[in-house]
Amino acid sequence: MAYVIDKELCLGCGTCEAECPVSAITVDEDGKYIIDPDQCLDCGTCAGVCPVDAPKG
């Protein structure tokens, strides 16, 4: 399993990217934050720090 960022909710603040322990979160070609499912540890840190609860596990 891996977390997925709801692009409709995401504000693009970058907090999750900064806090992910394995740097699984990057910005795609559309400027949207995305999670690499192959790197994600399912730890939930991104969901915990997101102001709008965009990362869903």
1-40: burial string, b at 16+ Cβ within 10 Å, e else: eebebeeeebeeeeebbeebeeebbeeeeeeebbbeeeeb
Note whether 29 binds ligand SF4 by CB under 6 A. Answer: no
Residue 4 touches ligand SF4, criterion: CB under 6 A: no
In the complex, what is the shortest distance from the CB of residue 26 to ligand SF4, in angstroms, rounded to a whole number?
Answer: 10
Chain positions contacting ligand SF4, by CB under 6 A: 3, 5, 10-16, 20, 22, 24-25, 33, 35, 40-46, 49-52, 54-55
